Chain A
Amino acid sequence: MKQAAMATSLSLSCSSPLLTRNTLFFTKTFSFSRSFSLSPPLSTKTLISQSPPRRTFAVRAESQNGVDPTGHYDFDLFTIGAGSGGVRASRFAANFGANAAICELPFSTISSDTTGGVGGTCVIRGCVPKKLLVYASKFSHEFEESNGFGWRYDSEPKHDWSSLIANKNAELQRLTGIYKNILKNSNVKLIEGRGKIVDPHTVDVDGKLYTAKHILVSVGGRPFIPDIPGKEYAIDSDAALDLPSKPEKIAIVGGGYIALEFAGIFNGLKSDVHVFIRQKQVLRGFDEEIRDFVAENMALRGIEFHTEESPVAITKAADGSLSLKTSKGTVDGFSHIMFATGRKPNTKNLGLESVGVKIAKDGSIEVDEYSQTSVPSIWAIGDATNRINLTPVALMEGVALTKTLFQNEPTKPDYRAVPAAVFSQPPIGGVGFTEEQAVEQDGDVDIYTANFRPLKATLSGLPDRVFMKLIVSAKTNEVLGLHMCGDDAPEIVQGFAVAIKAGLTKADFDATVGIHPTAAEEFVTMRTPTRKIRKSLDSQGKPDSEAKAVAGT
């Protein structure tokens, strides 16, 4: 595999650092029409030819790089994009003794072709601000709960959106500062500007050229809004995290985790929330029972779901309110319409195609198991590669890459049993296979579920419930998957992820003593399978006797 990749790149790496449209066409013909959707914007914007060759030469003369016949480069690793993956990789590279540089766009809470910020999506417009808003919005539920525990307020608690956003932004500024310091303290050279690859060993940052033995592309992804009439009135998650005022009535289009998290946030802050999903269920790809459970519980908290409705157009009324026309009808009176309809890798206008880096149809950079692109000196990690788009996965990929490159220890990231959470309200945590995946891959599985009213809810009187699920291989007794929806699910699942990653069995779970009274103890006290799924008829006889043994009662 690696050798093949190298061979391809040899023919490509001879392309000159001075790019012309010819090279673009060259790659276009080479990439099995994958770049079909990508090349039109590239050629119309002609960003690549924007940096004048004169300037390039001037810089070159100054820094004496690239053409150095001794094979010396300015840097061992040049990283484009200082988000989770990029910062991790450059820090670790520097710690391993490499001379590392990283470039990043100027800071802004809204991302674009020209704005970004050290810390990346996670810190500036993803995990962190999202979780801060989740914390803020959860209080309203806690106030309600507290009534059941004897707390009374003279007047209903009111929420001031602008003070939350101000405090949130102050925290983001602090964090981006911390990330800059982390880079500085690790001796990683930080360059502000837009990085573009000009040849397999050269990156152009706003006209300045830097050569590097290895180039890492970790430019992440960005929200994507489909092209429908009136899309200019819609906001994406970047904007939703930094609105000047709180939405009174918001339509959220999409059924993925981002849609559900924002639905929870705005619902908690007492906006009128409508979620429009194309399918019957939310959270495609998640365990079916979890999908049903979370939607049911969110609806109980006041979110209105419009299922099997696709957005068609947005119109703005004279009073400024927005209407969403869908495949089923029109809903009026929205102050905001948010699209959470997916994210796209930020791979445009990076010079990737022109140096021969293969790009997939979805815009993601194609990489092998070591995160190497089709050009051997160019590597890519994180959302730009669209593998599993999670911060800790980008971190894992970053660490693995630096071990491969600078520790002489070729390391593949291990994508087995990666736990994940959705910070909806109630939240979801899960690790390993869904029931559907387990049945498909393992055939014979035992399913253990618990659906209960937690102690807190019996006192608060609120209709909150918790759902838990274990998926166990009938053949090996190994726990293949664990899922939960309910309070603290993300915190609870982390420890179990260690157990599942280590390949532990249901017997190991049973041998563990519970912590009482917690919700988590339920995972080690599930005695009787809720159902047994058998693919082969052969094994169908056995289970019943096994069932009694498992039940142990």
Chain B
Amino acid sequence: MARKMLKDGEPDLNKGAEEGTNFDFDLFIIGAGSGGVRAARFSSNHGAKVAICELPFHPISSETIGGVGGTCVIRGCVPKKILVYGASYGGDLEDARNFGWELSENIDFNWKKLLQKKTDEINRLNGIYKRLLSNAGVKLFEGEGKIAGPHEVEVTQLDGTKLSYSAKHILIATGSRAQRPNIPGQELGITSDEALSLEEFPKRVVILGGGYIAVEFASIWRGMGANVNLVFRKELPLRGFDDEMRAVVARNLEGRGINLHPRTNLTQLIKTEDGIKVTTDHGEELIADVVLFATGRAPNSKRLNLEKAGVEVDKTGAIVVNEYSCTNIPSIWAVGDVTNRMNLTPVALMEASHFANTVFGGKTQKPDYRDIPYAVFSIPPLSVVGLSEEEAVEQTNGDLLVFTSTFNPMKNTISGRQEKTVMKIVVDAQTDKVLGASMCGPDAPEIVQGIAIALKCGATKAQFDSTVGIHPSAAEEFVTMRSVTRRVTGSAKPKTNL
């Protein structure tokens, strides 16, 4: 293929592949999660001959267990959201009473039934993903894939037999897995994998961690009626998010009855007759049926034979890639959580599409990480796009205008629920450009998606203001924020109520 001169940093797609070599496949992908399946389908649609390998299916992942669909479908976004739906009825039932609904005294929540239905749905989706692959003409292998060389993949099948295939390009999309802390009794705790598949509903829960997974499970179990203790090291949960919004989430979690233990760590877990005895570094003791470690995830890069193949890996175990998702070996690429860039399904999809377009579509594309919206499915949820106030202060020299709106959602005026919705817009005072938007309240993730397009395209506050509201909605608040809550100058620290 005749190519124009390479621009700086642009990948050379032919480097490493000797002319005239015949490969079994144009692309071999290790890992059939969100990124891998997307890359396989798109590459195949571009005319490439594609194979993909994936570990056998099971809800709980391990070195040898996975499943087509990956974390998102089997033990992430989808089952999590199903449980969040299930849990949110707990609050709805409370809200219904003041709207005139008379509910029986005995309302029963059947965890096993929900779990069974969740598993059915996951199985269905697993099947759909397999069909997506076969319909796209992608060859699927079940087994563990390893890199045997720059153009060589070895697949160990379930029965132990090994297959070896050559490919012009190899894509690693093996994702990541939940980690456990190194404390005495850690084997008594579980990770989010098991939490999504517990046999019995846990009535008393201790969750260690302050990230989105910790917060989401706290909301899930609390909504279903459990006693929940959330233990985290920082002053507030959700490090990295806008400080003001973190405080809102903390307040809401407490308002919904979750016990927060800020600036706290766990020192040990001991099994007792009454349950697991959990000790904190403040000397406090808690008894739990389940202890969940939501203390981070690590890339699945250990058993891929990367060192031998010479693929560079960073300290965290993440595969080092350039802007086009190419590793230091020109024929080996990596997308998704295994590269630990921004660990979100839609980002893995973006990376995978851009990879396919770059390598097989004749359209060189770098993923764009600006203004990526995302959500925390706590109850109520948080969703954000663009810069937090702290990031905006750091990344811009100019003045910032901060608009916030704290209001009682209309539903609460009747239900009596004491929970405010909070919205926030951070605007560059010089350019009027909206740099960041966030919301914590019902439907936040649904509401922020449209706002994200506006931000991505550099919309100004004036353009927000010129948009007519949809009345009565919560979302209309985003286009009716008239008065500046505060002005923050470049040097000054943001004034929040922290």
Interface size class of B (residues with CB under 8 A): 35 or more
Per-residue CB proximity of B357-385 to A under 8 Å, as 1/0? Answer: 10001000000100111110000000100
Residues of B within 8 A of A32 (CB): none
Q: How far is the CB of A403 from chain B (nearest CB, A)?
A: 13
| A518–B117 touching, CB < 8 Å | no
| B452–A512 touching, CB < 8 Å | yes
Most buried by B among A151, A519, A523: A151
| B456–A132 touching, CB < 8 Å | no
Residues of B within 8 A of A158 (CB): 101-102
B447 in complex: contacting residue of A136, A495, A501, A524, CB < 8 Å: A495
Residues of A within 8 A of B82 (CB): 149, 455, 459
| B472–A128 touching, CB < 8 Å | yes
Give the nearest-CB partner of B82 in chain A.
A459
Q: How far is the CB of A165 from chain B (nearest CB, A)?
A: 8
Q: Would you call B317 an interface residue if the criterion is a C-beta within 8 Å of the partner chain's C-beta atoms?
A: no
Known A148-B117, A154-B106, A521-B449; judge A499-B457 contact (CB<8 A).
Answer: yes
Query: How far, in angstroms, from A152 to B114 measured CA to CA in the complex?
Result: 12
Within 8 A of A (CB), among B88-122: 89, 92-93, 95-96, 98-114, 117-118, 121
Residues of B within 8 A of A504 (CB): 453-454, 457
Query: How far, in angstroms, from A520 to B467 measured CA to CA in the complex?
Result: 19
Known A167-B414, A414-B466; judge A494-B89 contact (CB<8 A).
Answer: no
Residues of B within 8 A of A521 (CB): 346, 449
Within 8 A of B (CB), among A400-430: 414, 417-421, 429
Q: Would you call B496 an interface residue if the criterion is a C-beta within 8 Å of the partner chain's C-beta atoms?
A: no
Q: Would you call B464 an interface residue if the criterion is a C-beta within 8 Å of the partner chain's C-beta atoms?
A: yes
Q: How far is the CB of A148 from chain B (nearest CB, A)?
A: 7
Query: How far, in angstroms, from A307 to B208 measured CA to CA in the complex?
Result: 59
Known A159-B100, A160-B100, A501-B467; judge A492-B449 contact (CB<8 A).
Answer: yes
| A495–B368 touching, CB < 8 Å | no
Query: How far, in angstroms, from A517 to B447 measured CA to CA in the complex?
Result: 13
Residues of B within 8 A of A429 (CB): 470
Q: How far is the CB of A496 from chain B (nearest CB, A)?
A: 4
| A135–B446 touching, CB < 8 Å | no
Known A135-B411, A516-B72, A523-B450; judge A502-B457 contact (CB<8 A).
Answer: yes
B463 in complex: contacting residue of A127, A174, A501, A509, CB < 8 Å: A501
Known A516-B345, A520-B445; judge A456-B85 contact (CB<8 A).
Answer: yes
Query: How far, in angstroms, from A136 to B413 measured CA to CA in the complex?
Result: 12
Query: How far, in angstroms, from A159 to B78 measured CA to CA in the complex?
Result: 33
User: Chain A at the B interface: mostly helix, strand, loop or mixed?
Assistant: helix
Per-residue CB proximity of A264-307 to B under 8 Å, as 1/0? Answer: 00000000000000000000000000000000000000000000
Q: Would you call A8 an interface residue if the criterion is a C-beta within 8 Å of the partner chain's C-beta atoms?
A: no
| B470–A154 touching, CB < 8 Å | no
Query: How far, in angstroms, from A154 to B411 measured CA to CA in the complex?
Result: 26
Give the nearest-CB partner of B350 in chain A.
A513
Within 8 A of B (CB), among A50-93: none
Q: Would you call A248 an interface residue if the criterion is a C-beta within 8 Å of the partner chain's C-beta atoms?
A: no
Residues of A within 8 A of B41 (CB): 553
| A494–B447 touching, CB < 8 Å | yes
Q: How far is the CB of A221 from chain B (nearest CB, A)?
A: 16
Q: Would you call A442 an interface residue if the criterion is a C-beta within 8 Å of the partner chain's C-beta atoms?
A: no
| B104–A153 touching, CB < 8 Å | yes
Residues of A within 8 A of B399 (CB): none
Query: How far, in angstroms, from A458 to B472 measured CA to CA in the complex?
Result: 29
Q: Would you call B410 an interface residue if the criterion is a C-beta within 8 Å of the partner chain's C-beta atoms?
A: yes
| B414–A392 touching, CB < 8 Å | no
Residues of A within 8 A of B113 (CB): 150
Q: Would you call B42 an interface residue if the criterion is a C-beta within 8 Å of the partner chain's C-beta atoms?
A: yes
Residues of A within 8 A of B373 (CB): 512-515
| B102–A160 touching, CB < 8 Å | yes
| A122–B471 touching, CB < 8 Å | yes
Q: Would you call B188 an interface residue if the criterion is a C-beta within 8 Å of the partner chain's C-beta atoms?
A: no
| A150–B110 touching, CB < 8 Å | yes
Residues of A within 8 A of B468 (CB): 390, 392-393, 396, 417-419, 497, 501
| A520–B117 touching, CB < 8 Å | no
Within 8 A of A (CB), among B439-459: 443, 445-454, 456-457, 459
Q: Would you call A437 an interface residue if the criterion is a C-beta within 8 Å of the partner chain's C-beta atoms?
A: no
Q: Would you call B268 an interface residue if the criterion is a C-beta within 8 Å of the partner chain's C-beta atoms?
A: no
Within 8 A of B (CB), among A146-173: 146, 148-155, 157-164, 167-168, 171
Per-residue CB proximity of B62-76 to A under 8 Å, as 1/0? Answer: 000000000010000
Q: Would you call B324 an interface residue if the criterion is a C-beta within 8 Å of the partner chain's C-beta atoms?
A: no
Query: How far, in angstroms, from A164 to B106 measured CA to CA in the complex?
Result: 22
Q: Would you call B198 an interface residue if the criterion is a C-beta within 8 Å of the partner chain's C-beta atoms?
A: no
Residues of A within 8 A of B344 (CB): 513, 516
Known A459-B118, A513-B452; judge A488-B350 contact (CB<8 A).
Answer: no
Give the nearest-CB partner of A414 in chain B.
B466
Q: Would you call B77 an interface residue if the criterion is a C-beta within 8 Å of the partner chain's C-beta atoms?
A: yes
Residues of B within 8 A of A523 (CB): 449-450
Query: How far, in angstroms, from A127 to B454 measured CA to CA in the complex?
Result: 27
Query: How far, in angstroms, from A155 to B42 measured CA to CA in the complex?
Result: 51
Query: How far, in angstroms, from A392 to B113 measured CA to CA in the complex?
Result: 45
Query: How far, in angstroms, from A191 to B254 measured CA to CA in the complex?
Result: 45
Query: How far, in angstroms, from A167 to B415 measured CA to CA in the complex?
Result: 9
| B410–A132 touching, CB < 8 Å | yes
| B111–A150 touching, CB < 8 Å | yes
Q: Would you call B318 an interface residue if the criterion is a C-beta within 8 Å of the partner chain's C-beta atoms?
A: no
| A519–B446 touching, CB < 8 Å | yes
Query: How far, in angstroms, from A501 to B478 measured CA to CA in the complex?
Result: 14
B100 in complex: contacting residue of A136, A390, A496, A498, CB < 8 Å: A136
Within 8 A of B (CB), among A496-553: 496-499, 501-502, 504, 508-509, 511-521, 523-524, 552-553
A497 in complex: contacting residue of B102, B414, B467, CB < 8 Å: B467
| A159–B451 touching, CB < 8 Å | no
| A497–B443 touching, CB < 8 Å | no
Residues of A within 8 A of B357 (CB): 552
| B446–A497 touching, CB < 8 Å | no
Q: Would you call B347 an interface residue if the criterion is a C-beta within 8 Å of the partner chain's C-beta atoms?
A: yes
Give the nearest-CB partner of B125 in chain A.
A458
Q: Would you call A139 an interface residue if the criterion is a C-beta within 8 Å of the partner chain's C-beta atoms?
A: yes
| B454–A502 touching, CB < 8 Å | yes
Residues of A within 8 A of B81 (CB): 455, 517
Within 8 A of B (CB), among A111-153: 122, 127-128, 131-132, 135-136, 139, 142-143, 145-146, 148-153
For this complex, 28 residue pairs linking A to B, each with C-beta atoms less than 8 Å apart, are: A127-B472, A146-B93, A149-B85, A151-B86, A151-B89, A151-B109, A171-B414, A390-B468, A390-B471, A393-B468, A417-B467, A492-B446, A494-B450, A495-B447, A498-B450, A498-B451, A498-B467, A499-B450, A499-B459, A501-B466, A508-B453, A512-B456, A513-B452, A515-B373, A516-B345, A518-B375, A520-B449, A521-B449
Known: A150-B117, A493-B470. 4 other contacts (CB 8 A): A157-B104, A396-B468, A504-B457, A552-B357
> What are the 4 closest A-B residue pairs judged by CB atoms, nearest first?
A495-B450, A164-B100, A494-B475, A520-B449
